[in-house]
Structure 1
Amino acid sequence: MSKVESALHYLRYLQRRFVEDGCLQRASSLTYTTLFAVVPMMTVTYSMLSAIPSFDGVGEQVQNFIFEHFVPSAGATVEEYLQGFSRQARHLTAIGIAILVVTAFMMLRSIESALNAIWRVEHGRRGLAGFLLYWAILSLGPLLLGLGFVLTSYVASLKLFTDTSEMLGLGSWLFRILPFLMGVAAFCLIYMAVPNRKVLFRHALVGGITVSLLLELAKSLFALFISFSPSYQLIYGAFAAVPLFLLWIYLGWVIILIGAEMVRSLSDLQAIMIRHPLPNMIQALLVMEAFDEAFAHGQPMTREQYQLRRPISMEQWECCCRALAREGLLREDQEGSWTLCRNLAKVELWTLIRNLPWSIPTAKSLSEVNEALPSWLLSLLARLQRFDADGNKQFSISLSALFSGDEDSSPEPAAQSTP
C-alpha cells in the first residue's frame, strides 16, 4: 500500500473502532457525570492546596488558568457560578464533604470504565488498587498542579530569567506554549495510568500531543462558532453560557476518546495495516504452536514475544487465548499472563476446530494471506481444499430437494440477469 492508502486504511479503522466502542454515547455519559463532579473536583482541589500554606491562593490561579486556556470564552459566566458553588461547598459538614468525594470518585470510575472498554479490558481495578488510583489523582493531581504554578511563578520572578527572556523575545512565547505542554502531560498521564493495561510512554505521548492539538483547534472553531451564532444568546439569554459549556465538555470528551482509540491502536499498528489478516481459527493454531515451542524450552510466551514471529492485534490475541482457555489448553494467572496447561499430543485437531467459536476457514481465505506460512499450515491448506471439495459434493442439493427428501436431485443453476 502507498502512504496515502495506508493513512486512509488507518483512519477507516479508527472510525470503525470509534463507532463499535460507542464513543459518542460514552462521551454523553461522561458529560453528564462531569456536570455533577466538576464542583466536587474543584472543592477537593481547593482543600488540598489550602492545606499547604505555601500554596495559599494557588487554587484560584489554577482554576483561572484552566478556564482561560482550555475553555472557550463562553465559560467565563460558568466559572463565576462554579466558584460560588465551590465556596459554599467548602462550608459543608463532614457528611456533605464525603458525598462530594464520592461524587468525584464516581467520575473517575466512569472515565476508567470508558477507557477500559476501548482497551477491551473485561475487569477494571477493584478494591484497594482502584481506591489508591483515584485517591492519587485527587490528592497528588492538585498538589502537582500547585507545585508547577509555584515553580513557574518563582522562575518568572528571577531577574536573570526575565532579562534573558526579554532579550531573546521568549517570554510571551514560553507562556503561550505552557498550557499546551501541561495538556500534553495531563493526557499522557491519563492514557498511561487509567486503563488497566500496560501502555507504552511513546504511544501515550503521541496521543497526548494529538489531543492537545485537536483541543486547541476545537477551541478556536468553537469560539468562532459562538461569535457567528448569536441565536443562543437570543434564545437562552443569560442562561446561554450553560448549554454552550455542556456542548464544549461533550466535544472535549469526544476528542479525548478519539485520542484513546489512537493510543490503543498504536500497539496494534503492524497488525492493523495488514489487508488480509489470518482467520481467528488459523491464528489460534499458530498461537498454540508458539506456546508449545515456548513450553518445550521452558520459556514463557507473551503477546510481545509472539509479535516477533507474526503480527497480531491485542484484541485477536485475547480472543484466541480465551477461546483456547475454554477448551482447557491455556490458563491465565493473576497477572494476566497465559501458560500452556495440557499435553497437545492428546488433543485432536477435528475436536478442537469443531469446538472453537469460529467457522472452519476455507482454502481461499488462506490463499489470500500475504505472509509466509509454516509447512504444517500448508498441509492443513491441502486438507481444507479436500474438505471444501468433499463438502461441495455432499451438500450440493437444493433446499427443496432437502425438504422433500429427494436427495438425488441437484439444484437448478441460478438464472443470470441480462445487462
Structure 2
Amino acid sequence: MSKKIKKFLQAFWVKFSQEGIPKESAALTFVTILGFVPFLIFILFLLPELPFLQLETQLKDIIISIFVPSSAEHITEYINQLINQKIPFNLFNFIILLITSFSLFKIINDSFDNILNVHELKKKGFVTNMVKFFGMTVFGGILILILFSATSMPIVNKFIDFPFLHKSSLYLTPVILLFIIFSLGFSLIPTINIRKNSILIGSTVSTVLWILFKSLFNWYIATLTNIELIFGVLAFVPIFLFWIYANWIIILSGVIIVSILENRHIRRPKISEAKQKIRLTFEKIDENNEYDSICSTTISPAELKNILGKMLSEAKEEEEE
C-alpha cells in the first residue's frame, strides 16, 4: 500500500511540474476575474425566484463561504451588492452573459483537456460544448434548489433548530455544494468521459484540500500578518487574488489526480498525419498455396486508404460483371 501511495505521489509531482500548474493557475485567475461575475449573474438569471427558499440570501452566504476568504471583507460587501442588484432580464443581456460565461467554460475546458491529454482525440464540436455547459449550469442549479428546498422543509427545520445541528449545517452545506461543484466540473467539463470512481476520489480529495487550505489561510492572515500596513485600503485585493489563485491550484491538482486514476497522465507526443506510418506484415505463398516467405513494409495511412479503395472498387466491378 505504501509503495502504491509513493508511486502515486511521484506521478502526481511529475505531472504537476510538466503541466506548469502554478503558471496555468495564474492565467486562470485573470480569466476568472473577468468571467466569474457574469457567470454568477447568469446563474441568478436561470434560477427561479422562490420566496420561501430565500434563495438569494442562501446563495450569497454559500458564495462568500466558498469563494471569499474571511479576511477579504470588501469583497463580501461587493458580492452583497451584486446579488441584491437586479439586472433587467432581456435578450441582449442574456446573450452577453451567455457569451461571457461560455467563454470562461471553454477556457477551463481547454485547461482540463490539456491535463487529461485529450489532444490525442478529435475535439468535439461547438454544439456538444454548449450542451455540456448548459448541462452543468442547469443540473447544478437544480441540485442547489433541491439542497436549499430540503433545508427549508418544516420537518428539517425542526431538527436544524437544535444548536449543534444548526451549527453543523452552516459548515456542511458549503462543503456539500463544493463537492457537487467539483463532481460536476470533473464529469462535464472535460471532452472525454471520466469514470465515476475517478470523479468521486478526485472531488473528495479536492474538497478536503480546499477545507484545510481555507482554514490555514484564514488563520495565517488573521494571526501572522498585518497586510494593511503594506497595501493600505487595497489590502483585500492581493488577498482575494491569491485566494482565487490557490483555488485554481487545488482544482487543477484534482484534475491531475483524475488523470492519474484514468491512466491519462503520461503525455504522448502528437504525430502529424503526414509522418504517421503503418507497418504491414504479410506472408508470400507459391503456386501450390504453400509458405514461401514473410515480407514487411511500411506505408502511410493515405497510401493504405488508396490501396483498399482500389481493391474494394475492383471487387465491386467484378460482382457487377
What per-residue deviation string (whole Å, max 9, x for no partner) do you get for residues 133-176 of structure 1?
Answer: 112233332343133212222156554x458x67xx65543543
2:317 is matched with which residue?
none
Gapped runs of 5+ residues in structure 2?
Answer: 284-293, 301-321
Aligned pairs for 1:310-321 within 5 A: 315=266
Gapped runs of 5+ residues in structure 1?
Answer: 269-312, 330-342, 356-419
1:48 is matched with which residue?
46
Given the superposition, is the C-alpha separation of residues 93 and 198 from structure 1 closer, same or farther in structure 2, using an over 3 Å criterion? closer
Given the superposition, is the C-alpha separation of residues 189 and 137 from structure 1 closer, same or farther in structure 2, using an over 3 Å criterion? closer
Q: Give the alignment's TM-score, normalised by structure 2.
A: 0.77
SS at match of 1:262: helix
Aligned pairs for 1:8-47 within 5 A: 8-47=6-45
Cα contact 1:45–1:142 (8 A) shared by 2: yes
The residue type equivalent to 1:134 in the other structure is F
What per-residue deviation string (whole Å, max 9, x for no partner) do you get for residues 200-239 of structure 1?
Answer: 1111111111011100111011112211344421222222
Cα contact 1:116–1:124 (8 A) shared by 2: no
1:66 is matched with which residue?
63
Mapped partners of 2:222, 2:166: distance in 1: 30
Aligned pairs for 1:83-94 within 5 A: 83-85=80-82, 90-91=87-88, 94=91
1:326 is matched with which residue?
276
The residue type equivalent to 2:187 in the other structure is M
The residue type equivalent to 1:59 in the other structure is E
SS at match of 2:146: helix
Mapped partners of 1:315, 1:321: distance in 2: 15
2:196 is matched with which residue?
201
What per-residue deviation string (whole Å, max 9, x for no partner) do you get for residues 19-70 of structure 1?
Answer: 2112222211111111111211221122222x44457640331121231255
Provide the identity percentage. Answer: 23
Mapped partners of 1:55, 1:127: distance in 2: 38
What per-residue deviation string (whole Å, max 9, x for no partner) do you get for residues 314-368 of structure 1?
Answer: 747x769998992246xxxxxxxxxxxxx6427955x55x99xxxxxxxxxxxxx
SS at match of 2:185: helix
Given the superposition, is the C-alpha separation of residues 178 and 87 from structure 1 closer, same or farther in structure 2, using an over 3 Å criterion? closer
The residue type equivalent to 2:233 in the other structure is A
2:305 is matched with which residue?
none
1:142 is matched with which residue?
141
Given the superposition, is the C-alpha separation of residues 148 and 120 from structure 1 closer, same or farther in structure 2, using an over 3 Å criterion? same
1:178 is matched with which residue?
173
Q: Which has the larger radius of gyration?
A: 1
Given the superposition, is the C-alpha separation of residues 162 and 80 from structure 1 closer, same or farther in structure 2, using an over 3 Å criterion? closer
Larger RCO, structure (CA 8 Å, separation 6 or more):
2
2:99 is matched with which residue?
102
Cα contact 1:207–1:260 (8 A) shared by 2: yes
The residue type equivalent to 1:74 in the other structure is S
Mapped partners of 1:60, 1:174: distance in 2: 15
Aligned pair count reads: 288
Pair 1:151-2:129 in alignment: no
Aligned pairs for 1:282-293 within 5 A: none
Q: Give the alignment's TM-score, normalised by structure 1.
A: 0.60
